[in-house]
């Protein structure tokens, strides 16, 4: 039988097996002993000396880069995670949204969520760097996520400031070209493996494009097609929650077109909600601004509410017994009345 990997330098700590830190650190990465190999003095003296040729067992030290699928599988064995897949056409604003959530947490709590830790700080910082003015661009701009890049998984450990329970949020980001290709050729849907893990599918709607009269017709159709193409071809689990996040709201607030844009967006929201409700899909529609560069007065918008939804505990299944009609027992007849 293989020995459990060494994850902690404290002799006897069971973190590798149970995922729980002996010193009660949560997340376990906060423990000063986590991720280090045992000190020579701490190794039991009766242990036989290592054979010279044997390779020393590797200790996983997090690089801080985004995780890939294999890393996530290992991580999810030690942590209870909530997973959100951010989905959208190229340049819709997926990566910028993720970078904005990270940037806001750097300044303090967002909504009622406190930042506790992250396995992927370097990955966040890289994305955020390009969206900053000091990346020496004339205006903030996030580089395209390449179609050849594997799906990137970001991690956030968060705690509501009213409670003690830490939630581990995993957010997936992938090139919009891959989602666009799957919309056009549904045989590619099965390649989007991150979507099967998602507790929540977040479809990013580019509000700047939707409210552009020249692009509205085509884009509004394509956006709906993307949701149906993925859902109807088994991309998600049955219990997935679906939300639409209209981003770039600042672009719709420019004074010359604000009223017209607001009306287009409200009308599209009403039609989507109606359509998905009648298709029996649990569905929400929300607005964010992740980078208010077109209309500075808009400011960052909706990030706290987004994080709150993404980390909300899943609703418990109903345990109410279905009513028995024409029951022979008195008690069943009484229950049917209620």
Ligand X SMILES: Nc1nc2c(ncn2[C@@H]2O[C@H](COP(=O)(O)OP(=O)(O)OP(=O)(O)O)[C@@H](O)[C@H]2O)c(=O)[nH]1
Interface residues with Mg ion (CB under 5 A) are: 94-95, 145
Q: Specify the stretch interacting with ligand X by CB under 6 A; choose among 1-9, 69-77, 94-102, 188-196.
A: 94-102
Q: Does 104 help bind ligand X (rule: CB under 6 A)?
A: no
- Out of 104, 120, 211, 247, which residue is the one contacting ligand X (CB under 6 A)? 247
Query: What sign does the CA torsion over 285, 124, 236, 231 have?
Result: positive
Q: Does 157 help bind ligand X (rule: CB under 6 A)?
A: no
Cβ(36)–Cβ(9) below 8 Å: yes
| Six token digits for residue 122 | 């370097």
Rank residues 34 and 124 by Cβ distance to Mg ion and give the closer one: 124
Residue 64's nearest CA partner among 32, 93, 35, 38 is 35
Strand pairing category for 167-173 and 81-87: parallel
* Residue 64 near which of Mg ion, ligand X, none (CB within 5-8 Å, type-dependent): none
* CB 122 to ligand X: min, Å: 18
* Residue 333 near which of Mg ion, ligand X, none (CB within 5-8 Å, type-dependent): none
Cβ(131)–Cβ(140) below 8 Å: yes
Q: Does 145 help bind ligand X (rule: CB under 6 A)?
A: yes
Q: Does 248 help bind ligand X (rule: CB under 6 A)?
A: yes
Cβ(95)–Cβ(125) below 8 Å: no
Cβ(109)–Cβ(225) below 8 Å: no
* Residue 306 near which of Mg ion, ligand X, none (CB within 5-8 Å, type-dependent): none
How far apart, in whole angstroms, are the C-alpha atoms of residue 263 and residue 25?
50
* CB 152 to Mg ion: min, Å: 9
**Residue nearest ligand X by beta-carbon distance:** 176
- Out of 21, 264, 289, 307, which residue is the one contacting ligand X (CB under 6 A)? 289
Q: Does 93 help bind ligand X (rule: CB under 6 A)?
A: yes
- Out of 142, 211, 253, 306, which residue is the one contacting ligand X (CB under 6 A)? 142
Q: Specify the stretch interacting with ligand X by CB under 6 A; choose among 24-32, 86-94, 237-245, 329-337.
A: 86-94
Q: Does 141 help bind ligand X (rule: CB under 6 A)?
A: yes
Rank residues 219 and 268 by Cβ distance to Mg ion and give the closer one: 219
* Residue 220 near which of ligand X, Mg ion, none (CB within 5-8 Å, type-dependent): none
| Six token digits for residue 182 | 């799957």
How far apart, in whole angstroms, are the C-alpha atoms of residue 157 and residue 30?
11
| Six token digits for residue 254 | 């420019």
Q: Does 251 help bind ligand X (rule: CB under 6 A)?
A: yes
Which DSSP string do the residues of 119-178 spell out, in sequence order?
S-HHHHHHHHHHTSGGGS-SS--PPPPPTTSPPEEEEEEEEETT----EEEEEEE--HHH
Interface positions with ligand X (CB under 6 A): 88, 90-96, 140-142, 144-145, 175-176, 247-248, 250-251, 289-291, 293-294
């Amino acid at each position: 039988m293989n020995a459990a990997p060494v994850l902690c330098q404290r002799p006897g700590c069971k973190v590798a097996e149970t995922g729980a830190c002996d010193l009660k650190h949560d997340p376990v990465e906060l423990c000063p002993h986590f991720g280090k190999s045992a000190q020579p003095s701490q190794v039991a003296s009766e242990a036989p000396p290592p054979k010279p040729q044997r390779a020393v067992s590797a200790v996983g030290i997090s690089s801080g880069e985004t995780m890939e699928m294999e890393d996530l599988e290992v991580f999810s064995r030690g942590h209870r995670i909530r997973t959100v897949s951010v989905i959208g056409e190229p340049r819709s604003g997926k990566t910028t949204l993720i970078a904005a959530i990270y940037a806001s947490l750097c300044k303090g709590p967002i909504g009622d969520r406190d930042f506790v830790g992250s396995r992927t700080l370097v990955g966040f910082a890289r994305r955020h760097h390009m969206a900053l003015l000091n990346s020496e661009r004339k205006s903030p701009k996030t580089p395209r996520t390449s179609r050849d890049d594997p799906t990137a998984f970001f991690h956030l450990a968060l705690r509501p400031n009213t409670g003690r329970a830490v939630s581990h949020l995993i957010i997936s980001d992938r090139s919009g070209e891959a989602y666009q290709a799957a919309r056009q050729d549904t045989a590619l849907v099965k390649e989007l493996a991150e979507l099967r893990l998602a507790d929540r599918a977040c479809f990013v709607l580019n509000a700047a494009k939707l409210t552009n009269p020249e692009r509205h017709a085509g884009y509004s159709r394509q956006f709906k097609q993307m949701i149906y193409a993925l859902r109807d071809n088994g991309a998600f689990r049955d219990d997935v929650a679906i939300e639409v996040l209209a981003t770039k709201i600042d672009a719709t607030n420019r004074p010359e077109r604000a009223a017209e844009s607001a009306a287009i967006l409200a009308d599209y929201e009403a039609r989507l909600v109606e359509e998905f409700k009648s298709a029996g899909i649990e569905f929400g529609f929300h607005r964010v601004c992740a980078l208010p560069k077109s209309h500075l007065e808009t400011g960052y918008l909706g990030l706290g509410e987004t994080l709150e939804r993404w980390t909300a505990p899943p609703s418990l299944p109903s345990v109410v017994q279905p009513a028995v009609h024409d029951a022979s027992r008195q008690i069943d007849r009484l229950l049917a009345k209620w």
